[in-house]
């Protein structure tokens, strides 16, 4: 399969503090790839670097063969990279409908945007029932649904999800994973950083495990689930940290 995203030996830092020390990964078109690892491994920093919030100090990042390392978020948004942050980025005083419309602000065709909004609301029926309600009244799970839905309004070539189930109850967590699988089934390419390592491996096509800012393990999700070394190091409690 054709690689949509290629990260090659990327180093990145916050000031003098090195976080990424040589991360490499490849993501094929239509894949759901999980990025796992212990606290401080650099998982969220990797997504921020891909999304343009942090410039790589060394190495390269390409999207569909085009070098994008060091481009700022507005330029990457226009190239089709949607980034759903770990922290909430909704506009609480705006309605669900208005928040979704903002996800398509770089697009021009109004009729297509309206159609895509209806598709997102069909994917998340709980949002459809409350589309005129302000975002501030949503539960944690509904907020995550809205953030993912807003990202889909970009019609992304690559959807980056940072801890999509963090802080959610188990039943809501399962629902979010189900919705991510539905998104992947439409052909959307997804890279997901996730604290629940076991569940992430169950749903992902492939996964990468980071440790101390480097890629330590990679493989298919089911293979890593069966790996005694991976289970012992990262799955002992059923979850892995951020």
CATH of the domain at 62: 3.40.50.300
Q: What is the mean pLDDT of the chain?
A: 92
Rounded Cα distance between 161 and 86, Å, is 8
Question: CA 31, CA 48: separation in Å to the nearest integer?
Answer: 20
Domain containing residue 29: 3-234
Contact assessment for residue 63 and residue 70, using Cβ atoms and an 8 Å cutoff = no
Q: What is the DSSP string of 109-130?
A: -HHHHHHHHHHHHHH-HHHHTT
Q: Is residue 120 in some structural domain?
A: yes
Q: CB neighbours (10 Å) of residue 28?
A: 14
| pLDDT tens readout for residues 20-63 | 999 999 999 999 999 999 888 999 999 999 999 999 999 999 99
Residue 148 host element (H or E)? helix 140-152
Q: Tell me which DSSP letter residue 239 carries.
A: -
In this model, does residue 235 exceed pLDDT 90? no
- pLDDT surpassing 50 at residue 239: no
Whether 239 maps to a domain, the answer reads no
In a domain, 28, yes or no: yes
> Where residue 237 falls among pLDDT bands split at 50, 70, 90?
very low
Does a structural domain hold residue 144? yes
Mean pLDDT (whole number) for 215-238: 81
The burial class, CB within 10 Å (0-12 / 13-18 / 19+), for 32 is buried
Q: Taking 60 as the threshold, does the pLDDT of residue 192 lie above it?
A: yes
Residue 227 within a domain:
yes
Domain count, the chain: 1
Mean pLDDT, to the nearest integer, of 100-126? 91
């Amino acid at each position: 399969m054709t690689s949509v995203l290629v990260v090659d030996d990327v180093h990145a830092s916050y000031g003098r503090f090195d976080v990424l020390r040589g991360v490499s990964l490849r993501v094929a078109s239509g894949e759901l790839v999980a990025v796992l690892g212990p606290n401080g491994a650099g998982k969220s920093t990797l997504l921020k670097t891909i999304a343009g919030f942090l410039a790589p100090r060394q190495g390269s990042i390409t999207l569909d063969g085009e070098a994008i390392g060091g481009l700022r978020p507005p330029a990457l948004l226009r190239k089709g990279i949607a980034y759903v942050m770990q922290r909430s980025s909704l506009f609480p005083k705006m309605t669900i409908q208005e928040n979704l419309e903002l996800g398509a602000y770089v697009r021009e065709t109004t009729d297509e945007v309206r159609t895509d909004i209806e598709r997102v609301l069909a994917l998340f029926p709980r949002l459809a029932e409350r589309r005129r309600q302000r975002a501030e009244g949503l539960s944690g799970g509904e907020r995550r649904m809205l953030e993912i839905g807003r990202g889909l309004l970009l019609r992304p070539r690559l959807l980056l999800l940072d801890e999509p189930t963090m802080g959610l109850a188990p039943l809501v967590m399962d629902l979010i994973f189900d919705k991510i699988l539905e998104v992947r089934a439409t052909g959307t390419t997804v890279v997901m950083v996730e604290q629940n390592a076991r569940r992430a491996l169950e749903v992902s096509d492939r996964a990468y495990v980071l440790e101390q800012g480097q890629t330590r393990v990679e493989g298919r999700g089911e293979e890593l689930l069966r790996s005694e070394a991976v289970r012992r190091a990262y799955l002992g409690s059923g979850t892995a940290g951020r």
